[in-house]
Structure 1
Amino acid sequence: MKLHGFFRSGTSHRLRIALNLKGLPYETVPVDLRREQHLGDAYKALNPQGLVPTLEAGGRVLTQSPAILEWLEERHPEPPLLPRDADARARVRALAAIVGCDIHPVNNRRILEALRHDFGANEAAVQRWCGRWIADGFDAIEALLAADARRGDFCFGDAPTLADVYLVPQVESARRFQVDVARWSRIAAVDAACLRLDAFRRAAPALQPDAT
């Protein structure tokens, strides 16, 4: 497998975690968003949307991290990232979607670049923008974690699920935007539990070959 991504990209980060949890070897192919390599003809021939990550696997080219993660779960079901029970799967997917649908999309690089260049936002305004959507999403996740009597060390149960795969990169991003994650004690505890696992530690942005 070849993972085309950017070390600081939350979507690339979540895919690295999933691949590590499933014990799947992959080659990292850096795509430098700062130099706009994702907009070049070579990369767009691979991924017409010009976004990261892209996964090459067995002659296939897979795009969009939610689709890739579902594909990994179906093709490589062990260890599972989704519970067996339908109600439990719905809960895990809902937690993941708060990050994947409601926090990350409005805080990703192309949105922030538009705020800077099209709307004249300075860095303080950009940080306030990011902090607002992170806080809204984290408030909801914290409440859902507090309401779940079955929760173990992770978002759902005693082993990482898709919810943790989404949450940990968003926590990393929150810290980068100077959001105090400690105010959400359950999220902070889940993040700490995940980072005790090698699969999460090895996926950290700072440890990637293109990190600078």
Structure 2
Amino acid sequence: MSTVLYDYWRSSASYRVRIALHLADEPFERVAVDLLEGDHRGPDHLARNPQGLVPVLDIDGHRFTQSLAILDYLNDTRALGLLPDDPAQRAQVRALAHGIAVDLHPVCNLSVVRHATSDAEDKPTATRAWMQHFIRPGLAAFDTLLEGFEQTPFCCGDTPTLADLCLMPQLYNAHRWGVDLSDLPRLQAIESACAAHPAFTAAHPDQVRPN
């Protein structure tokens, strides 16, 4: 039974699931859902996910939505080690990841930004200002929270965790929108470590973007 990922190449939620699938060495087929063309609002995709969101993952005879739920399933069934065994440490790593995936990512969602800037005379400038307004403080807070962990060389140790999978897509967005991270050396070091990891490289938007 084949594994199929319905995603959009620049979607942060899709990006983090691609990383996990590559960490698991799970062969999968990508089916593009073009958010700019409105494919997510079409009947085919709404039949997969009534929320009209990506990603959607078909795997092991099941269909899953919501990237964090998908990551939990992959972690549980593919032994990815994305979370520590100790309950307290597990909660701390989850808190790091949720700070991005639950708090920061939603306000930078394409549909949210389009609505927020719909009345702006200069939409590109307004969009960039919106993204910088939210991304910079969110990542700065994440960097401060990292003080409670040893980066050797990833967010929380010597192997990638849920925090790294959520961080990297947001760093991609930060660079895309011109957010200055030069004073956050912990994030820069983690980004370098992840960028050298084959699973992160294979999942990067530049590797899957349409020609």
Q: TM-score of the superposition, structure 1-length normalised? A: 0.94
What is aligned with 1:169? Answer: 169
Letter in 2 for 1:88: Q
CA distance in 1, matches of 2:132, 2:64: 31
Match among 48, 54, 72 for residue 74 of structure 2:
72
Give the Cα separation in 2 of the matches to 1:118 and 1:53: 29
Q: 1:4 aligned to 2:6?
A: yes
Corresponding residue for 2:96?
A: 95
Change in Cα spacing, 1:60 to 1:147, as seen in structure 2 (3 Å) is closer
Matched, 1:193 2:202: no
Q: Any unmatched runs of 5+ in structure 1?
A: none
Question: Does the Cα contact within 8 Å between 1:3 and 1:27 map onto a contact in 2?
Answer: yes
1:151 match: 151
Cα distance per residue 1:120-175 (max 9 Å; x no partner): 66221221111121111111111112343x33211001110000000001000111
Deviation at 1:2, TM superposition (A): 0.3
CA RMSD of aligned residues (A): 1.4
Aligned position for 2:210: 211
Mapped to 2, the partners of 1:116 and 1:151 lie a distance apart of: 37
Task: Report the AA paired with residue 197 of structure 2.
Answer: L
Q: 1:89 to 1:171 in 2, by over 3 A?
A: same
For residues 105 and 67 of structure 2, what CA distance do their matches in structure 1 show?
12
Please, which runs of 5 or more residues in structure 2 have no aligned partner? none
% identity of equivalent residues:
40
Of 164-173 and 68-77, more deviation after overlay is shown by 68-77
Structure 1 moving runs of 4+ over 6 Å: none
Look up the match of 2:53.
Answer: 51
Structure 2 length-normalised TM: 0.94
Return the letter of the residue paired with 2:96: L
- Checking the alignment, whether the CA contact within 8 Å between 2:151 and 2:190 is kept in structure 1 is no
Equivalent position of 1:142 in the other structure: 143
* 1:5–1:12 CA contact under 8 A, matched in 2: yes
For residue 44 of structure 2, what is the aligned residue in structure 1?
42
Change (3 A) 1:119 1:151: same
* Residue matched to 2:19: 17
Contact 1:205 1:211 in 2 (8 A): no
Paired residue for 2:114? 113
Cα deviations across residues 56-97 of structure 1 (Å, max 9, x unaligned)? Answer: 1122110010111111111222x3111111121111101101
Contact 2:20 2:71 in 1 (8 A): yes
